Amino acid sequence: MGLIFRKSIKLGSIRVNFSGSGISYSTGIKGARITSGPRGTYVTIGANGIYYRKKIGRAQYQPNHRQPLPIIDPTIHTITSAPIDQLTDVDSKAFIDELSEKAAKISLFTWLGIVPMIAFFILLSANSFREREIVIQPGGERKVAIIDSYVGSNIRTNPDANSPVLRTAKDGEEFTLLAESNKKWFKIQFHDSVGYVSKKLARSSVVNDERLTRTETYSTNPYYNWMLATGFLVFLPVLFFLAKQDKRRFGMELNYEMDDQMSSIYKAFTTNFADFNSSRRKWQYLHAQRNYDWKRNAGAGRLVNRVSIGEVSAHKMPIRYFKTNVQIPYIKLRNTQLFFLPERLLVRRGNKFAAVFYKNLNIENNLTQFIEDGIVASDARIVDYTWKYVNKKGGPDRRFGNNRKIPICLYSQYTLHSATGVYEIISTSRISAFDGFSDYLKKIGQLQSAMLNGTQIS
């Protein structure tokens, strides 16, 4: 974070603040103050932890319908969160309404700038260029002279055995026949000139040539380059203006001020998430069901459908033109994106968002044994082996051929869930890879609960 110059004086209940951006005024009590200045009016809320500073908008409160945790059928269930409209907790409603509203807006830069510019260039080019066909070979019947001698034949400059030799042609070589009126010589086309071969060493024939053409593009508009440059100069300021409008329309700023207690916890934020990212393999669980055919499935009691996590990033913005003074760790699941803000989990599906404060998010971690039928990650711990087809005693079933040995790996499994319906399970090949980061999130949740109850956490 950069250095901030700030000086203030108190005039009764009003505080006057002097900073690099100008003069601002604030009033209120500790933990809840309203600030007005050259950058707009903001609300700062918090005490003994994270301070969330948000510009006042027009978002209206709507009652939140809480979704209970999915009921897990003992036989089969789908591992997924509830519909995104139901995930947000009450405390995040205004923030999510503004974020979803901005994400749903169309980009003026794209639809009023880029698209018309591309359409202009396409229409200009379509009306300035034409195509024509160039005949390379007309095709049809053609008389040829074919060398008919296993020793070949000399191609001479004149119909005379004593004339200079241009080249010796091989048996079966073919040349376009220009004339055959001479009793002893064929007149043939040889490169861009002519030559002669003896009729004793060649024969005439007729071949059907394929018609060969190529397409050539040519300009019909002598002013094309001038019109192209003019169009570019016209669109350039329009694009610049629309980009500024998009920045204003989509712009959202989220700044965090942390006290000493919060800062000490936040220092390990990046390190702990990097520890999770360093795991060689990371999976998302999609589906699980009880396995009744355990003999043909390596003795597994449960079948899990999992996919590799699409993307993990140490910092990614949830929307364009989003500004913040902290890093936002990011995990991309199937159809769901997770952004870990310092005080809450942000969930995105399409252009819709949801958020849950960490005090309302539960993370359960445990070790699980997984029969690894695929490639074993280099950081995975193999604890045992089984067979693809097992007998009642756990040994190999001799009735099956190609009954290979399969490793059993010990993985860490993490379940993220909330009372509003968040329910995702991720797994790491390296044991405890997500422990540090999940402990950080739990600690933040404890601080938030303590702030709500007016207590302190040491």
pLDDT surpassing 70 at residue 215: yes
Rounded-to-integer distance, Cα 72 and Cα 160, Å = 100
**Cα–Cα distances in angstroms (integers) from residue 86 to residues 63, 95, 287, in the given order:** 11, 15, 21
Beta pairing class for 165-169 and 129-137: unpaired
| Topology at the third CATH level for domain 140-209 | SH3 type barrels. (2.30.30)
Report CA Rg, the chain. 39
With bands split at pLDDT 50, 70 and 90, how would you rate the model's confidence at 180?
A: very high
In the predicted structure, residue 225 carries a pLDDT above the cut 90? yes
pLDDT, greater one: 132 or 448:
132
Q: What is the pLDDT averaged over residues 295-315? A: 73
Q: Measuring CA to CA, which residue among 434, 440, 438 is closest to residue 264?
A: 440
In tens, the pLDDT along 332-354 reads 998 899 999 888 899 999 889 99
The CA distance from 21 to 1, in Å, is 17
pLDDT of 292 higher than 90: no
pLDDT confidence of residue 262: 66
Whether 400 shows a pLDDT value over 90: the answer reads: no
Q: What is the mean pLDDT of the chain?
A: 79
- Which pLDDT score is estimated for 3? 34
For the chain, percent of residues with pLDDT exceeding 90: 43
pTM of the entire predicted model: 0.64
Q: Which of 44-58, 201-215, 229-243, 428-442 has the lowest mean pLDDT?
A: 44-58
Q: Given the DSSP bridges, would you call strands 22-29 and 32-37 parallel, antiparallel or unpaired?
A: antiparallel
Residue 399 or 431, more confident: 431
Q: Please state whether 298 falls in left (phi above 0), alpha (psi between -120 and 50) or beta.
A: left
pLDDT, residue 203, reads 94
Q: How far apart are CA 55 and CA 41, in angstroms?
A: 6
Tell me which range, 87-96, 105-114, 294-303, is most confidently predicted by mean pLDDT.
Answer: 105-114
- Give the integer Cα–Cα distance in Å for 90 and 98: 14
The number of CA neighbours under 13 Å toward the Cβ of 320 is 16
Query: Domain map of the chain by residue range?
Result: 6-45, 76-99+268-453, 140-209
Q: Are 23 and 15 in contact (CB under 8 A)?
A: no
Residue 310 CA, chain-centre distance (Å), reads 8
CA pair distance 298, 394, nearest whole angstrom: 9
Is the C-alpha dihedral spanning 443, 444, 447, 453 positive or negative?
Answer: negative
Instruction: Identify which has the larger pLDDT, 191 or 1.
Output: 191
More confident residue, 436 or 287: 436
